[in-house]
Amino acid sequence: QSVLTQPPSASGSPGQRVTISCSGSSSNIESNYVYWYQQLPGTAPKLLIHRNNQRPSGVPDRFAGSKSGTSASLAISGLRSEDEADYYCASWDHTLSGQDWVFGGGTKLTVL
């Protein structure tokens, strides 16, 4: 069971807008940055969004991150077939056990 909760799947048709949610708590999302990674089949994760809503150079502005309280979301607009991938949210977590990085369980995006 992942510390951050994501829907296991999402889907949309080309050109549509899709949103993926990520739910956490006060010890992780609410008090730390949220990152989003895209993992194409058989490849390593690629950084998509950092510091809640910042895109690294080369990431299209079709991808947008946001955060509010203990939740975050990734919006993908103008959906394209090459967006079909697994998407993971991640954040630092501060607990009594110490500092930890935590990930969501991943959302498999299907482009219909």
Contact residues toward other proteins (CB under 8 A) are 2, 32-33, 35, 37, 43-47, 50-51, 56, 88, 90-92, 95, 97-106
Select 17 or 100, whichever has its Cβ closest to other proteins: 100
Greatest alpha-carbon span in the chain: 45
Name the minimum Å distance from CB 8 to other proteins: 10
Please tell me the distance from the alpha carbon of residue 7 to that of residue 10, in angstroms, as a whole number.
7
Beta bridge mates, 54: 50
Quick one: CA torsion of 66, 21, 9, 16, rounded to 10 degrees? -50
Please tell me the distance from the alpha carbon of residue 109 to that of residue 39, in angstroms, as a whole number.
10
Select 3 or 76, whichever has its Cβ closest to other proteins: 3
Name the minimum Å distance from CB 45 to other proteins: 6
Name the minimum Å distance from CB 100 to other proteins: 6
